[in-house]
Amino acid sequence: MRICDTIEDMRAACRAARRGGKRLGFVPTMGALHEGHLSLVRAARASCDAVAASIFVNPMQFGPNEDLAKYPRSFERDRELLEKEGVELLFAPSVEEMYPAGAVTWVTVEGLSSKLDGRSRPGHFRGVTTVVAKLFHIVEPDAAFFGQKDAAQVAIVRRMARDLNLPVEIVACPIVREPDGLAMSSRNAYLDPQQRKQALVLHRGLLQVKKSWEEGEREAGKLLTVGRDELSAEKSVRLDYLEIVDPDSLVPVENTAGGALVAVAAFVGLTRLIDNLVLPRSSH
Ligand code: AMP
Protein backbone atom coordinates (compact mmCIF):
# COMPACT_ATOMS: atom_id res chain seq x y z
CA MET A 1 0.00 0.00 0.00
CA ARG A 2 1.34 3.38 -0.96
CA ILE A 3 0.87 6.17 1.58
CA CYS A 4 0.72 9.72 0.26
CA ASP A 5 0.68 12.79 2.45
CA THR A 6 0.73 15.43 -0.26
CA ILE A 7 -1.99 16.29 -2.73
CA GLU A 8 0.45 16.20 -5.62
CA ASP A 9 1.63 12.65 -4.79
CA MET A 10 -1.87 11.34 -4.22
CA ARG A 11 -3.19 12.83 -7.45
CA ALA A 12 -0.33 11.32 -9.47
CA ALA A 13 -0.72 7.92 -7.80
CA CYS A 14 -4.48 7.89 -8.40
CA ARG A 15 -4.07 8.89 -12.05
CA ALA A 16 -1.56 6.05 -12.48
CA ALA A 17 -4.00 3.62 -10.82
CA ARG A 18 -6.75 4.63 -13.26
CA ARG A 19 -4.56 4.30 -16.35
CA GLY A 20 -5.86 1.91 -19.00
CA GLY A 21 -9.48 2.49 -17.99
CA LYS A 22 -9.16 0.90 -14.56
CA ARG A 23 -12.00 1.70 -12.17
CA LEU A 24 -10.82 3.39 -8.98
CA GLY A 25 -12.94 3.15 -5.82
CA PHE A 26 -12.52 5.61 -2.95
CA VAL A 27 -13.35 5.34 0.76
CA PRO A 28 -12.98 8.60 2.72
CA THR A 29 -12.65 8.21 6.51
CA MET A 30 -11.52 10.03 9.63
CA GLY A 31 -9.59 6.97 10.83
CA ALA A 32 -10.12 5.08 14.13
CA LEU A 33 -11.28 2.34 11.80
CA HIS A 34 -13.78 -0.38 12.64
CA GLU A 35 -15.74 -3.02 10.71
CA GLY A 36 -18.10 -0.33 9.37
CA HIS A 37 -15.23 1.37 7.55
CA LEU A 38 -13.81 -1.96 6.41
CA SER A 39 -17.17 -2.95 4.93
CA LEU A 40 -16.87 0.09 2.65
CA VAL A 41 -13.39 -0.99 1.59
CA ARG A 42 -14.70 -4.48 0.81
CA ALA A 43 -17.57 -3.06 -1.24
CA ALA A 44 -15.07 -0.92 -3.14
CA ARG A 45 -12.81 -3.93 -3.73
CA ALA A 46 -15.72 -5.96 -5.04
CA SER A 47 -16.70 -3.47 -7.74
CA CYS A 48 -13.45 -1.66 -8.59
CA ASP A 49 -10.01 -2.55 -9.96
CA ALA A 50 -8.15 -0.50 -7.34
CA VAL A 51 -9.09 1.07 -4.00
CA ALA A 52 -7.95 4.33 -2.47
CA ALA A 53 -8.79 5.38 1.09
CA SER A 54 -8.18 8.55 3.05
CA ILE A 55 -7.66 9.23 6.73
CA PHE A 56 -8.21 12.86 7.58
CA VAL A 57 -9.83 14.26 10.72
CA ASN A 58 -11.40 17.25 9.03
CA PRO A 59 -11.44 20.24 11.41
CA MET A 60 -13.96 22.08 9.21
CA GLN A 61 -16.76 19.65 10.11
CA PHE A 62 -16.34 20.01 13.88
CA GLY A 63 -18.09 22.79 15.80
CA PRO A 64 -16.18 24.93 18.32
CA ASN A 65 -17.44 22.89 21.29
CA GLU A 66 -17.11 19.48 19.67
CA ASP A 67 -14.59 16.67 20.05
CA LEU A 68 -11.95 17.57 17.42
CA ALA A 69 -9.01 17.56 19.87
CA LYS A 70 -9.97 14.26 21.50
CA TYR A 71 -11.25 12.47 18.37
CA PRO A 72 -9.63 9.00 18.47
CA ARG A 73 -6.52 8.65 16.30
CA SER A 74 -4.83 5.30 15.61
CA PHE A 75 -2.87 5.71 12.42
CA GLU A 76 -0.57 2.67 12.70
CA ARG A 77 -3.43 0.29 13.41
CA ASP A 78 -5.57 1.86 10.66
CA ARG A 79 -2.73 1.55 8.18
CA GLU A 80 -2.34 -2.17 8.94
CA LEU A 81 -6.07 -2.80 8.63
CA LEU A 82 -6.30 -1.04 5.27
CA GLU A 83 -3.24 -2.86 3.98
CA LYS A 84 -4.77 -6.20 5.00
CA GLU A 85 -7.97 -5.31 3.13
CA GLY A 86 -5.95 -4.74 -0.03
CA VAL A 87 -6.15 -0.96 -0.26
CA GLU A 88 -3.56 0.22 -2.82
CA LEU A 89 -3.45 3.94 -2.02
CA LEU A 90 -3.83 5.73 1.30
CA PHE A 91 -4.07 9.51 1.51
CA ALA A 92 -3.23 10.90 4.95
CA PRO A 93 -2.62 14.63 4.58
CA SER A 94 -1.95 17.20 7.28
CA VAL A 95 -4.47 19.95 8.00
CA GLU A 96 -2.07 22.49 6.44
CA GLU A 97 -1.85 20.42 3.25
CA MET A 98 -5.64 20.33 2.91
CA TYR A 99 -6.31 23.90 4.04
CA PRO A 100 -3.49 26.26 3.12
CA ALA A 101 -3.62 29.62 4.88
CA GLY A 102 -6.16 31.89 3.26
CA ALA A 103 -8.52 29.15 2.03
CA VAL A 104 -11.98 30.75 1.98
CA THR A 105 -13.94 28.63 -0.49
CA TRP A 106 -16.76 26.38 0.70
CA VAL A 107 -19.13 23.94 -0.93
CA THR A 108 -22.60 24.14 0.60
CA VAL A 109 -25.63 22.06 -0.27
CA GLU A 110 -28.27 24.64 0.67
CA GLY A 111 -31.30 23.50 2.60
CA LEU A 112 -30.29 19.87 3.11
CA SER A 113 -27.28 20.98 5.14
CA SER A 114 -29.45 22.48 7.85
CA LYS A 115 -31.58 19.35 8.31
CA LEU A 116 -31.10 16.60 10.94
CA ASP A 117 -27.48 16.77 12.21
CA GLY A 118 -27.06 20.03 10.33
CA ARG A 119 -29.58 21.68 12.64
CA SER A 120 -27.83 20.48 15.81
CA ARG A 121 -24.35 20.94 14.36
CA PRO A 122 -24.34 24.20 12.38
CA GLY A 123 -21.61 24.18 9.73
CA HIS A 124 -21.04 20.43 10.01
CA PHE A 125 -22.28 19.47 6.57
CA ARG A 126 -20.63 22.47 4.94
CA GLY A 127 -17.36 21.10 6.32
CA VAL A 128 -18.19 17.62 5.04
CA THR A 129 -19.13 18.67 1.51
CA THR A 130 -16.13 20.96 1.24
CA VAL A 131 -13.65 18.26 2.22
CA VAL A 132 -15.38 15.56 0.17
CA ALA A 133 -15.36 17.81 -2.92
CA LYS A 134 -11.65 18.50 -2.37
CA LEU A 135 -10.92 14.78 -1.91
CA PHE A 136 -12.87 13.95 -5.08
CA HIS A 137 -10.75 16.45 -7.02
CA ILE A 138 -7.56 14.93 -5.65
CA VAL A 139 -8.46 11.24 -6.03
CA GLU A 140 -10.75 11.54 -9.08
CA PRO A 141 -12.48 8.27 -8.19
CA ASP A 142 -14.94 6.48 -10.44
CA ALA A 143 -16.97 5.48 -7.38
CA ALA A 144 -16.97 6.63 -3.75
CA PHE A 145 -18.30 4.53 -0.88
CA PHE A 146 -20.21 5.97 2.10
CA GLY A 147 -21.98 4.35 5.04
CA GLN A 148 -25.74 4.51 5.42
CA LYS A 149 -24.95 5.03 9.13
CA ASP A 150 -24.59 8.71 8.17
CA ALA A 151 -27.76 8.78 6.08
CA ALA A 152 -28.00 12.57 5.87
CA GLN A 153 -24.39 12.71 4.72
CA VAL A 154 -25.17 10.26 1.91
CA ALA A 155 -28.14 12.36 0.76
CA ILE A 156 -26.10 15.57 0.87
CA VAL A 157 -23.03 14.15 -0.90
CA ARG A 158 -25.28 12.65 -3.59
CA ARG A 159 -26.96 16.01 -4.11
CA MET A 160 -23.59 17.76 -4.30
CA ALA A 161 -22.31 15.28 -6.90
CA ARG A 162 -25.48 15.72 -8.94
CA ASP A 163 -25.63 19.51 -8.68
CA LEU A 164 -21.94 19.98 -9.51
CA ASN A 165 -21.85 17.25 -12.19
CA LEU A 166 -19.03 15.45 -10.39
CA PRO A 167 -18.14 12.36 -12.44
CA VAL A 168 -18.32 9.96 -9.52
CA GLU A 169 -20.82 7.29 -8.58
CA ILE A 170 -21.92 7.60 -4.93
CA VAL A 171 -22.44 4.16 -3.38
CA ALA A 172 -24.20 3.79 -0.01
CA CYS A 173 -23.38 0.69 2.06
CA PRO A 174 -25.49 -0.83 4.89
CA ILE A 175 -24.96 0.02 8.57
CA VAL A 176 -22.60 -2.40 10.32
CA ARG A 177 -23.66 -3.12 13.90
CA GLU A 178 -22.17 -4.72 17.00
CA PRO A 179 -23.74 -8.12 17.82
CA ASP A 180 -26.12 -6.44 20.29
CA GLY A 181 -27.34 -3.94 17.69
CA LEU A 182 -25.31 -0.80 18.49
CA ALA A 183 -24.27 0.87 15.25
CA MET A 184 -20.49 0.82 15.00
CA SER A 185 -18.90 4.24 15.39
CA SER A 186 -15.46 5.57 16.20
CA ARG A 187 -17.18 7.55 18.95
CA ASN A 188 -18.32 4.36 20.73
CA ALA A 189 -14.77 4.33 22.14
CA TYR A 190 -15.80 7.24 24.40
CA LEU A 191 -18.46 5.17 26.19
CA ASP A 192 -17.82 3.61 29.59
CA PRO A 193 -19.36 0.15 30.20
CA GLN A 194 -22.55 1.60 31.69
CA GLN A 195 -22.99 4.12 28.87
CA ARG A 196 -22.28 1.36 26.35
CA LYS A 197 -25.43 -0.42 27.65
CA GLN A 198 -27.47 2.79 27.75
CA ALA A 199 -26.49 3.54 24.14
CA LEU A 200 -28.48 0.51 22.98
CA VAL A 201 -31.66 2.54 23.42
CA LEU A 202 -31.06 4.27 20.07
CA HIS A 203 -31.36 0.97 18.24
CA ARG A 204 -34.26 -0.15 20.47
CA GLY A 205 -36.16 3.05 19.67
CA LEU A 206 -35.72 2.43 15.95
CA LEU A 207 -36.78 -1.20 16.32
CA GLN A 208 -39.98 -0.14 18.09
CA VAL A 209 -40.76 2.19 15.19
CA LYS A 210 -40.09 -0.63 12.75
CA LYS A 211 -42.31 -3.02 14.70
CA SER A 212 -45.17 -0.56 14.72
CA TRP A 213 -44.64 0.03 10.99
CA GLU A 214 -44.65 -3.74 10.37
CA GLU A 215 -47.94 -3.93 12.26
CA GLY A 216 -49.39 -1.50 9.74
CA GLU A 217 -48.90 1.99 11.20
CA ARG A 218 -47.95 4.47 8.47
CA GLU A 219 -48.56 7.83 10.13
CA ALA A 220 -45.25 9.46 11.00
CA GLY A 221 -46.66 11.20 14.10
CA LYS A 222 -47.78 7.89 15.61
CA LEU A 223 -44.52 6.15 14.73
CA LEU A 224 -42.55 8.99 16.32
CA THR A 225 -44.56 8.68 19.54
CA VAL A 226 -43.73 4.98 19.71
CA GLY A 227 -40.04 5.71 19.15
CA ARG A 228 -39.89 8.61 21.62
CA ASP A 229 -41.61 6.51 24.31
CA GLU A 230 -38.91 3.88 24.00
CA LEU A 231 -36.11 6.46 23.95
CA SER A 232 -37.41 8.34 26.99
CA ALA A 233 -37.41 5.13 29.02
CA GLU A 234 -33.61 5.44 29.22
CA LYS A 235 -33.45 8.49 31.47
CA SER A 236 -29.70 8.96 31.19
CA VAL A 237 -29.86 9.37 27.41
CA ARG A 238 -30.74 12.86 26.13
CA LEU A 239 -32.55 12.81 22.83
CA ASP A 240 -31.30 15.34 20.27
CA TYR A 241 -33.79 14.40 17.56
CA LEU A 242 -35.94 11.58 16.30
CA GLU A 243 -37.31 12.39 12.87
CA ILE A 244 -39.04 10.69 9.98
CA VAL A 245 -38.00 12.30 6.72
CA ASP A 246 -37.83 11.82 2.99
CA PRO A 247 -34.49 10.02 2.39
CA ASP A 248 -33.51 12.36 -0.49
CA SER A 249 -34.75 15.80 0.61
CA LEU A 250 -34.50 15.12 4.39
CA VAL A 251 -37.80 16.99 4.79
CA PRO A 252 -40.17 15.50 7.41
CA VAL A 253 -42.98 13.38 6.00
CA GLU A 254 -46.42 12.93 7.53
CA ASN A 255 -47.02 9.54 6.01
CA THR A 256 -44.43 6.82 5.48
CA ALA A 257 -46.25 4.89 2.76
CA GLY A 258 -43.89 6.26 0.10
CA GLY A 259 -40.80 5.15 2.02
CA ALA A 260 -38.99 7.14 4.70
CA LEU A 261 -35.82 7.54 6.72
CA VAL A 262 -36.16 7.28 10.50
CA ALA A 263 -33.16 9.05 12.02
CA VAL A 264 -32.14 9.45 15.63
CA ALA A 265 -29.39 11.36 17.45
CA ALA A 266 -28.87 11.33 21.20
CA PHE A 267 -26.31 12.15 23.83
CA VAL A 268 -25.06 9.34 26.04
CA GLY A 269 -23.12 11.30 28.61
CA LEU A 270 -21.16 13.76 26.48
CA THR A 271 -21.03 11.42 23.49
CA ARG A 272 -23.38 12.18 20.63
CA LEU A 273 -24.46 9.07 18.75
CA ILE A 274 -26.61 8.65 15.65
CA ASP A 275 -28.48 5.77 14.06
CA ASN A 276 -31.23 5.29 11.51
CA LEU A 277 -33.33 2.88 9.54
CA VAL A 278 -35.08 3.05 6.20
CA LEU A 279 -38.77 2.17 5.88
CA PRO A 280 -39.35 0.92 2.34
CA ARG A 281 -42.16 2.14 0.12
CA SER A 282 -45.15 0.01 1.09
CA SER A 283 -47.35 -1.80 -1.35
CA HIS A 284 -50.46 -1.47 0.89
P1 AMP B 1 -16.02 8.48 9.59
O2 AMP B 1 -14.64 7.93 9.78
O3 AMP B 1 -16.84 8.46 10.83
O4 AMP B 1 -16.04 9.81 8.87
O5 AMP B 1 -16.74 7.47 8.62
C6 AMP B 1 -16.22 7.19 7.35
C7 AMP B 1 -17.24 6.42 6.56
O8 AMP B 1 -17.54 5.21 7.23
C9 AMP B 1 -18.55 7.19 6.40
O10 AMP B 1 -19.04 7.00 5.07
C11 AMP B 1 -19.44 6.51 7.40
O12 AMP B 1 -20.81 6.58 7.06
C13 AMP B 1 -18.94 5.09 7.33
N14 AMP B 1 -19.33 4.36 8.55
C15 AMP B 1 -19.09 4.71 9.83
N16 AMP B 1 -19.67 3.84 10.68
C17 AMP B 1 -20.30 2.91 9.91
C18 AMP B 1 -21.08 1.75 10.19
N19 AMP B 1 -21.35 1.36 11.44
N20 AMP B 1 -21.57 1.05 9.14
C21 AMP B 1 -21.33 1.44 7.87
N22 AMP B 1 -20.59 2.52 7.54
C23 AMP B 1 -20.08 3.25 8.54
Write out pLDDT tens, residues 230-251.
999 999 999 999 999 999 999 9
Band (pLDDT 50/70/90 cuts) for residue 282 is confident
Task: Answer yes or no: is the C-beta of 29 below 6 A from any ligand 1 atom.
Answer: yes
Task: Answer yes or no: is the C-beta of 150 below 6 A from any ligand 1 atom.
Answer: yes
CB atoms inside a 10 Å sphere around CB 186: 19
Please check whether residue 257 is in contact with residue 281, taking contact to mean a CB–CB distance below 8 angstroms.
yes
Q: What is the mean pLDDT of residues 164-184?
A: 98
Would you say residue 186 has pLDDT above 90?
yes
What gap in Å lies between CA 106 and CA 109, rounded to an integer?
10
Q: What is the mean pLDDT of residues 42-50?
A: 98
Please check whether residue 129 is in contact with residue 158, taking contact to mean a CB–CB distance below 8 angstroms.
no
Task: Answer yes or no: is the C-beta of 184 below 6 A from any ligand 1 atom.
Answer: yes
Q: Give the distance (Å) from ligand 1 centre to CA of residue 88.
A: 20
Q: What is the mean pLDDT of residues 114-130?
A: 98
Give the chain's mean pLDDT: 97
Strands 169-173 and 143-147, sheet pairing: parallel
Q: Among 51-60, 202-211, 275-284, which stretch is predicted with the lowest mean pLDDT? A: 275-284
Band (pLDDT 50/70/90 cuts) for residue 90 is very high
Q: Give the distance (Å) from ligand 1 centre to CA of residue 230.
A: 25
Q: Give the distance (Å) from ligand 1 centre to CA of residue 217.
A: 30
What gap in Å lies between CA 88 and CA 8, rounded to an integer?
17
Task: Answer yes or no: is the C-beta of 40 below 6 A from any ligand 1 atom.
Answer: yes
- Cα angle 256, 180, 267 (rounded to 5 degrees) comes to 65
Break the chain down into helix, strand, coil percent, rounded to 5: 45, 20, 35
Which ligand 1 atom is nearest residue 186's CA? 3
Catalytic annotation, residues: 37
The greatest distance separating any two alpha carbons of the chain, rounded to the nearest whole angstrom, comes to 58
Query: Which of these, 77, 89, 65, lies nearest to 189 by C-alpha position?
Result: 77
* Residues contacting residue 20 through CB under 8 Å, at least 6 positions apart: none
pLDDT at 284: 58
Strands 271-279 and 260-268, sheet pairing: antiparallel
